[in-house]
Amino acid sequence: MLMCRDLAEIASDFIDGELSGRQNLTVKMHLMMCKDCRTFIGNLRASSNLLSAHSSGRVDEAFLRRIDERVAKALRARPSDSGNSNDTP
């Protein structure tokens, strides 16, 4: 069984699609059960997208932190279970 710590180690490979089919499945199953890791992967994916879009070779740490804050904010602001039950059958 995959632990959060294990997932963190292979998270970037998961995002890059470099895991084997079996590993990929294990990660996905963990993500289904673990909200923390979903958030983690979401953050990582967002920053890796931004980084590859801006890949100039050097990474500014303040810039990275700003991305992180934005992602965290966006995740928090996402209207998931905030009253309007439109998508519940």
Q: Total residues at the site for Zn ion (CB under 5 A)?
A: 3
CB of 13 to Zn ion, least distance (A): 16
Pairwise CA distance, residues 24 & 17, whole Å: 8
Tell which one of 15, 19, 34, 44 touches Zn ion (CB under 5 A).
34
10 contacts Zn ion (rule: CB under 5 A): no
| Under 8 Å between Cβ of 30 and 7 | yes
Torsion of CA 53, 27, 3, 77, to 10 degrees: 50
CB of 74 to Zn ion, least distance (A): 20
Tokens matching residue 87:
């998508």
- Closer Cβ to Zn ion, 35 or 76, answer by number: 35
